[in-house]
Amino acid sequence: MKILVTGFDPFGGDKINPAIEAVKLLPDKVKGAEIIKLEIPTVFNKCAEVVKAAIKKYQPDYVLNVGQAGGRYALTPERIAINIDDGRIPDNDGYQPLGEAIHEDGETAYFTQLPIKAEAKAIREAGIPAEVSNTAGTYVCNHIMYQVQYMRDKEFPNIKAGFIHIPFLPEQVVNRPGVASMSLDDIVKGLTAALGAIVERDGQGDLVAVEGKTH
Amino acid sequence: MKILVTGFDPFGGDKINPAIEAVKLLPDKVKGAEIIKLEIPTVFNKCAEVVKAAIKKYQPDYVLNVGQAGGRYALTPERIAINIDDGRIPDNDGYQPLGEAIHEDGETAYFTQLPIKAEAKAIREAGIPAEVSNTAGTYVCNHIMYQVQYMRDKEFPNIKAGFIHIPFLPEQVVNRPGVASMSLDDIVKGLTAALGAIVERDGQGDLVAVEGKTH
Amino acid sequence: MKILVTGFDPFGGDKINPAIEAVKLLPDKVKGAEIIKLEIPTVFNKCAEVVKAAIKKYQPDYVLNVGQAGGRYALTPERIAINIDDGRIPDNDGYQPLGEAIHEDGETAYFTQLPIKAEAKAIREAGIPAEVSNTAGTYVCNHIMYQVQYMRDKEFPNIKAGFIHIPFLPEQVVNRPGVASMSLDDIVKGLTAALGAIVERDGQGDLVAVEGKTH
Amino acid sequence: MKILVTGFDPFGGDKINPAIEAVKLLPDKVKGAEIIKLEIPTVFNKCAEVVKAAIKKYQPDYVLNVGQAGGRYALTPERIAINIDDGRIPDNDGYQPLGEAIHEDGETAYFTQLPIKAEAKAIREAGIPAEVSNTAGTYVCNHIMYQVQYMRDKEFPNIKAGFIHIPFLPEQVVNRPGVASMSLDDIVKGLTAALGAIVERDGQGDLVAVEGKTH
């Protein structure tokens, strides 16, 4: 089994992005699955081209995109990607879409094929906080999650794909009082646990468990 | 123009639900539009039957569902409803779905037809905090928002519909330290401003403005 | 019985200070006690001169200073004032002390004589969130609380004095996402309840009740 | 130079206390100073006896008490200890004082002799979030900070003493959604940086810098 794991480069004034830093530190094998690591640009559309080329090259069974969600307290496997680009800030190429569809011929949204409840449970069992999230936002993170689902819908039907958001690193919140963070080691430990859950649940779907939100 | 506005009854151990309390206090007319007020039960599916009967009876141009999002700091017009019931707690009939589709033949998600950026702007101009939200959760609030969209998709194509989440009332956080709240008067003022924006933007779609989230 | 209640004027870029706005709206009598209302400047030392002149003029039995604590969720009667001026920002006269004693011959700190647990309980019983706080900060709020205690220590031994911090108003957080607020009506209602508790506990000291913090 | 560093044992239902875990992992020497490590019980008064015996035995130049402040986002050197025991929960011996003085003949409060602004700056320069705090609470943490100051006042005038509060560990927030945490490695790194600042500022007092709070 092959799992392509991507991480974004830094954006929005930060000099570091924990996503790519964590991805680089993942083990090369998790429970027998080969982990292929890929840095992608924080740029609408361009990030999707990079992922598409890697899918063609490596033909992975799974794609897991990883991105920073500054302010979150936990690792958060994402449930759904939605067909909208609505940037609070411009991307690294200076492009800031405001409420545009990603693909006119795409679904309104796609649910992940990854076992998000199993991932969250495995991360917590590794001693790292985790919660299922129901929004990946409307910026580049949701964009790449949607784009990979769209590719799956149109071109690579055998791929299973999803997204995990991760918190800021401690060094990123030194000048952001009252904002949560997580150490790089713990992010790596949590992502590794999530990858383990993906491998173990292969072919079985997700757990049935209480992980929902009242809002 | 007629706008049907619904509010849920109390759930989850609270004796009061600010949603129905606020809806009851809305004016009967907003910028010329007639406001029809409806209490609905915090029960999966049953709430949709009640709304459907009211749509048939009143034939509104717009439907706005209002629900409590305990812990939020602002009024939050919702962008999207997703095809999943995943309850953190049972509903008022004791039913707790865990990850089930609302309608097998429904879309994965539906975007609201309401002008959410215009609503948020109007609420803020009334002096009340507001933000566009990208998740209505996976409980009864998302459920009713999805159900009304599904009815629109299948049966009432001329309706425009959407959802606004509102915070706890101050009296609800007296024993919940560190949780935000908003007074009933301010919720009513904010909802009235949002209804005004809906009327004013009728036929023009939403504003193009920065309201997105990086996650 | 006479209670002198003070509120600060706006500072730090805000055009309004809920402290003086709320104080102005207090009733003239609370449970038989006369309420004397006084606006004071957000200026180190100068605010104390204004209060001192009012104490001499009105000879109140109690002094209650009210100030804004942006970011708090509840009304917070303060337990203690400490002998330090350490400004995160300059005051309204441009003065920014950094770690200086308020009075070289003053105590390190003074506990309030007000019944803070009774105040918090009364506020909550009025449906408004309240918690005892153990820090009034190191800016003008702590300064005036300390100054009045110092006056009591040196000059007006019969006065009982204390402080209540109040949250931002909703209009102040319209552009501060994720920050709690409280309506002016609710602040007035809560302060009135606290004044009632002060009058009722006169001569009896505070309640013995669980209100402490582990940190 | 000798620095006695203490950490509390677990309390309040947690099986682990990051305070003693971090203290155990500190280096034996920091910038030439000898670090003496001591576990103390989360019990009013008893913790003070243990520290007093260690002061007599080791004759340290500095005492640094370390305690957990669940919910904080950063390491927080404490400015002041106050003369009150007011427990939100009982201590590990089941004792829950409610608003009692620690020592009738003690000062109302004692400022730390440690360079808290220099500590916070050094911790941040090590990449770990830190802020000066103005309240150590009213439970066992404030108690031991006060007790050591009282010993200094009455018996060991040459000692300089203070306190640092630390966040929950990630494993402690796995079932506490929306609560910040910090890894044990980062806590150790931050405490080591703070100890370095204590050694370097020895004899010079604290930095003059902006670290104050408006409330």
Residue C73 has pLDDT above 90, yes or no: yes
C193 class by beta-carbon count within 10 Å (0-12 exposed, 13-18 middle, 19+ buried): buried
> Which residues, numbered 5 to 64 in chain D, qualify as contacts with chain A under a Cβ-Cβ cut-off of 8 Å?
none
Look up tokens 């400015």; give the residue.
D79
D41: three-class secondary structure by DSSP: coil
Rounded CA gap, C202 and C196, in Å?
A: 10
Query: Which residues of D participate in catalysis according to the annotation?
Result: 78, 141, 165
Q: In sequence order, what are the residues at sequence separation of 6 or more whose Cβ sits closer than 8 angstroms to the Cβ of residue A128?
A: A74, A75, A182, A186, A187, A189, A190, A193, D170, D171, D174
Å between C141 CA and nearest CA of chain D: 7
Question: To the nearest whole percent, how much of chain A has pLDDT over 90?
Answer: 95
Residue A67: how many other CB atoms lie within 10 Å: 31
- From first CA to last CA, the distance across chain C in angstroms is 36
CB C112, CB C135: distance < 8 Å: no
Residues on chain A touching D171 (C-beta within 8 angstroms):
127-128
Q: Do B129 and C174 touch (CB under 8 A)?
A: yes
Å between A72 CA and nearest CA of chain B: 9
Q: Could you report the per-residue pLDDT of C118-150, keeping only the tens digit for each?
A: 999 999 999 999 999 999 999 999 999 999 999
Point out the residue among B68, B110, B134 whose CB comes nearest to the CB of A137.
B134
* Residue D185 contacts A where some CB pair is shorter than 8 Å: yes
Query: Which residues of A participate in catalysis according to the annotation?
Result: 78, 141, 165
CA D1 from chain centre, in angstroms, equals 19
List C-alpha distances in Å: B71 to A214, B84, C73, D169: 11, 22, 11, 24
Look up tokens 């707790």; give the residue.
B96
Residue D215 banded pLDDT, cuts 50, 70, 90: low
* Residue A87 contacts B where some CB pair is shorter than 8 Å: yes
Nearest to D4 by CA among D21, D15, D30, D13: D30
Nearest CA in chain C to D163: C215
Residue C165 bears catalytic tag? yes
C143 class by beta-carbon count within 10 Å (0-12 exposed, 13-18 middle, 19+ buried): buried
Where helices occur in A82-132 by DSSP H, the ranges are: 116-125
Helix axes C18-25, C184-200, angle to 10 degrees: 60
Q: What angle do CA D64, D165, D199 make, to 5 degrees?
A: 35
Residue to mutate among A14, A121, A173, with most D CBs inside 10 A, is: A173
CB C109, CB D111: distance < 8 Å: no
Task: Determine the pLDDT at residue B215.
Answer: 66
Residue B202: how many other CB atoms lie within 10 Å: 15
Q: Most distant CA pair in chain A: distance in Å?
A: 45
Residue B165 bears catalytic tag? yes
Q: Parallel, antiparallel, or unpaired for β C160-166 and C62-68?
A: parallel
Across C163-170, average pLDDT = 98
Rounded CA gap, A75 and A130, in Å?
A: 5
* Tokens describing residue D9: 């044992």
Å between C3 CA and nearest CA of chain B: 26
A158: three-class secondary structure by DSSP: coil
Residue D212 has pLDDT above 80, yes or no: no
* Residue C180 contacts B where some CB pair is shorter than 8 Å: yes
Point out the residue among A96, A107, A165 whose CB comes nearest to the CB of B215.
A165
Residue D74 has pLDDT above 70, yes or no: yes
List C-alpha distances in Å: D122 to B139, C201, D60, D160, D191: 46, 47, 22, 19, 9
Across C154-164, average pLDDT = 98
Helix axes C184-200, C116-125, angle to 10 degrees: 130
Fold of B2-200: Aminopeptidase (3.40.630)
Rounded CA gap, A203 and B75, in Å?
A: 41
- From first CA to last CA, the distance across chain B in angstroms is 36
Across D130-134, average pLDDT = 98
| The one catalytic residue among B131, B141, B143, B211 | B141
Residues present in chain B in total? 215
Residue to mutate among B15, B21, B72, B73, with most C CBs inside 10 A, is: B73
Where helices occur in C35-181 by DSSP H, the ranges are: 46-58, 116-125, 140-154
Residues present in chain D in total? 215
Task: Determine the pLDDT at residue A215.
Answer: 66
Nearest CA in chain C to D89: C214
D38: three-class secondary structure by DSSP: strand
Residues on chain C touching B176 (C-beta within 8 angstroms):
129
Task: Determine the pLDDT at residue A23.
Answer: 98
B38: three-class secondary structure by DSSP: strand
Rounded CA gap, A36 and D191, in Å?
A: 37
Q: What is the 3-state secondary structure (H, E, C) of C166-206?
A: ECCCHHHCCCCCCCCCCCHHHHHHHHHHHHHHHHHCCCCCC
Q: What angle do CA B17, B20, B26 make, to 5 degrees?
A: 135
Q: Could you report the per-residue pLDDT of D39-65, keeping only the tens digit for each?
A: 999 999 999 999 999 999 999 999 999
Nearest to B65 by CA among B112, B28, B27: B112
Nearest 5°: phi and psi at C73? -100, -10
Mean pLDDT by 10 residues, chain B (215 residues): 97 92 98 98 98 98 97 98 96 96 98 98 98 97 98 98 98 96 98 98 95 71
Strand partners for D112? none
Task: Determine the pLDDT at residue D214.
Answer: 67
Look up tokens 């682990």; give the residue.
D16
Task: Give the amino acid at D137.
Answer: G
* Tokens describing residue C155: 């000059």
Q: Do D109 and C137 touch (CB under 8 A)?
A: no
Task: Determine the pLDDT at residue A80.
Answer: 98
Rounded CA gap, A35 and A58, in Å?
A: 11
Q: Could you report the per-residue pLDDT of C167-203, keeping only the tens digit for each?
A: 999 999 999 999 999 999 999 999 999 999 999 999 9
Where helices occur in A31-90 by DSSP H, the ranges are: 46-58
Lowest average pLDDT, out of B47-56, B170-179, C6-15, D70-79, goes to C6-15
Residues on chain A touching D75 (C-beta within 8 angstroms):
none
Across D174-191, average pLDDT = 97
Q: Do A73 and D124 touch (CB under 8 A)?
A: no
CB A129, CB D170: distance < 8 Å: yes
- Calculated CA dihedral for residues C188, C192, C197, C198, nearest 10 degrees: 100
CA D130 from chain centre, in angstroms, equals 13
Residue D28 banded pLDDT, cuts 50, 70, 90: very high
**Can you give the pTM of this predicted structure?**
0.96
C161 class by beta-carbon count within 10 Å (0-12 exposed, 13-18 middle, 19+ buried): buried
CB A151, CB A160: distance < 8 Å: no
Residue C141 bears catalytic tag? yes
Residue B40: how many other CB atoms lie within 10 Å: 24
Q: Could you report the per-residue pLDDT of A61-118, keeping only the tens digit for each?
A: 999 999 999 999 999 999 999 999 999 999 999 999 999 999 999 999 999 999 999 9
Phi/psi class of residue B170: alpha, beta or left (left: φ > 0; alpha: ψ in -120 to 50)?
Answer: alpha
Point out the residue among C108, C110, C135 whose CB comes nearest to the CB of D110.
C108
Q: Do B209 and A98 touch (CB under 8 A)?
A: yes
Residues present in chain C in total? 215
Residue A12 has pLDDT above 90, yes or no: no
Å between D141 CA and nearest CA of chain C: 7
Residue D13 banded pLDDT, cuts 50, 70, 90: confident
Task: Give the amino acid at C29.
Answer: K
| The one catalytic residue among B78, B119, B131, B211 | B78
CB D42, CB D157: distance < 8 Å: no
Residue to mutate among D112, D131, D215, with most C CBs inside 10 A, is: D215
Q: How many CB pairs under 8 A join A and B?
A: 136
D153: three-class secondary structure by DSSP: helix
Nearest to D69 by CA among D147, D133, D5, D23: D133
